[in-house]
Structure 1
Amino acid sequence: MLIDSHCHLDFPEFVEDRDDVIRRAREVGVRLMLTISTKITEADKIISLAEAYEDLVCSIGIHPHEAGSEPETSADELARIAAHPKVVGIGETGLDYYYEHSPREAQKKNFQSHISASRDTNLPLIVHARDADTDTAMILEEEAGKGSFPGLIHCFTAGPELAERALNIGMYISFSGIATFKNTQEIRDVIEIVPLDRILVETDAPFLAPTPHRGKRNEPSFVRHTAELIADIKGISYQEFIDISGTNFFKLFTKAIPPEKSGQPLTASSTS
């Protein structure tokens, strides 16, 4: 079961042809797409988008780039919005010290409120981490000491230490099309050490189109190229990998219901 575990179908890049983008994903076997929130002020918009397609679910949260401009949002408020049936995750949140579009302290406070919401709702925390490995690992470990929460680091581009520390507290690791680029051997090395039962695959569309589409607008149908690469690195067939990664998705995102259980097209649970 091929799943794009992280895309941004609400972004302007998809306004003109979103239906075609989703159709192309279905044609290559993508059974579910998780479209990710970056602004709490646009929560209604992303939820409405998820409601419009049976094979689309969403998250709610504030991206670290937006932590300084979006309204400060409590864990209780995040949990309240996340009660909607189509919301299956909290985030994306985390730390980005590469661009630093928001002050570091605002990013950290935002990150911690999202972790609390994840803990309270048992919805997975979707973590963005760029050039902030030490602080990301420290905050995750400190918060895990207060009580467990499910989650993953998406679009993983760091080294093995962050991967190992995240895995040690029960998190999953998701890989994007960056892993297919020629100059990213370090990411492929991390893929080798992450257990198969902790791997997810994503596009992060419209960004980071994988080889052979590099430089183009990314879209969920391209997730198959990253899945093929990971299967090759792990020495298993493509079908084996998408079965395993699909199972991993539903173990983590427990609010999403696999079609074989519901007898219906993929959608989200009617309960939180």
Structure 2
Amino acid sequence: MLVDSHCHLDFPDFDEERDEIVARADDAGVKIMVTISTRIRQFDRIRAIAERYDNVYCSVGTHPHNAGEEPDIDVEEIIRLAAHPKVVAIGEAGLDYFYDKSPRDLQAAGFRRHIAAARETGLPLVIHSRDADADMAAILEDEMGKGAFPAILHCFSSGRDLALKGIELGLHVSFSGILTFKKSTELREIASELPRDRLLVETDAPYLAPQPWRGKRNEPAYVAHTNQVLADCHGVSAEEMASRTTANFFRLFPKVPLQEVE
């Protein structure tokens, strides 16, 4: 089986055929999906989707793009919402200096609140980092010094130094369809260096469809193609990598019941 550890099933791209999207994922062997929150003020919509499908779970958090919209959300509110049985992660939160849609100080402050919530709940923090490697590494090192917390660098497309710093600090690293792009040679080299017990796969659907669907709408069923390329990076079979990334997922996301594996 495979797990899509990061998708956005609440996005309007899926409104017309969400049932079919979930069914196609299941048919492709993707037995679990985590639909990721980007705005806590819209959490009810995310939660409703997770409640509707047995094999869909969710997170709660504010994307760095939206940090400026939700500066008033405190750690206690995140923790309260995370108590729902279908909430299995905190985030996504982090730093995005590519688009800079929110002031950087608000991104950092929001990120640290999400870290505190992950530390308190024990749920993994889903980290978004783009063009912010140095500041991301500095915040992670500082916060780990205050107390460990589980986390994953999602949709990894940053530099080698951040990947290795993440591994050093105990984080996991997740790869998306970007890994399959022809020009992603350096990213594949980074992926090949990372320990297999820290790797996950995702789609980030509806974005970043892997080859051969690049440029089209992504969906969870396509995570198999990223898994195949990650397997190639490590010189193992797709089946072995699927087994490894799925085991890693359950270890990092302990709130997801193991009995879901069939």
TM-score by length of 2: 0.98
Superposed, 1:65-80 pairs within 5 Å as: 65-80=65-80
* Structure 1 CA distance for aligned equivalents of residues 133 and 254 of structure 2: 27
* Structure 1 CA distance for aligned equivalents of residues 185 and 36 of structure 2: 27
Please name the residue that 2:60 is paired with: 60
**Residue 94 of structure 2 aligns to which amino acid in structure 1?**
G
1:145 aligns with 2:148: no
1:184 positional shift: 1.0
* Structure 2 CA distance for aligned equivalents of residues 121 and 65 of structure 1: 24
- Secondary structure of the residue aligned to 1:146 is coil
Deviations 1:2-37 (A, max 9, x none): 000000000000000001111110111001000000
Tell me if the contact between 2:199 and 2:245 (Cα under 8 Å) persists in the aligned partners: yes
- Secondary structure of the residue aligned to 1:256 is coil
* Structure 1 CA distance for aligned equivalents of residues 61 and 24 of structure 2: 27
1:71 positional shift: 4.5
* Structure 1 CA distance for aligned equivalents of residues 258 and 31 of structure 2: 9
1:74 positional shift: 1.0
* Structure 1 CA distance for aligned equivalents of residues 125 and 163 of structure 2: 15
Of all paired residues, the percent bearing the same amino acid is 53
Please name the residue that 1:13 is paired with: 13
TM-score by length of 1: 0.95
1:157 positional shift: 0.3
Coordinate RMSD, CA, aligned: 0.8
Tell me if the contact between 1:72 and 1:110 (Cα under 8 Å) persists in the aligned partners: no
Superposed, 1:192-211 pairs within 5 Å as: 192-211=192-211
How many residues align structurally?
261
Tell me if the contact between 1:58 and 1:89 (Cα under 8 Å) persists in the aligned partners: yes
- Secondary structure of the residue aligned to 2:145 is helix
1:75 positional shift: 1.1
1:238 positional shift: 0.8
**Residue 199 of structure 1 aligns to which amino acid in structure 2?**
L
1:187 aligns with 2:187: yes
**Residue 140 of structure 1 aligns to which amino acid in structure 2?**
L
1:114 aligns with 2:118: no
Tell me if the contact between 2:71 and 2:110 (Cα under 8 Å) persists in the aligned partners: no
* Structure 1 CA distance for aligned equivalents of residues 232 and 217 of structure 2: 25
Please name the residue that 2:24 is paired with: 24
1:72 positional shift: 2.1
Q: 5+ residue gaps in structure 1? A: 260-264, 267-272
* Structure 2 CA distance for aligned equivalents of residues 168 and 68 of structure 1: 31
Stretches of 4+ aligned residues off by more than 3 angstroms: none
Please name the residue that 1:101 is paired with: 101
Please name the residue that 1:270 is paired with: none
1:106 positional shift: 0.4
Please name the residue that 1:269 is paired with: none
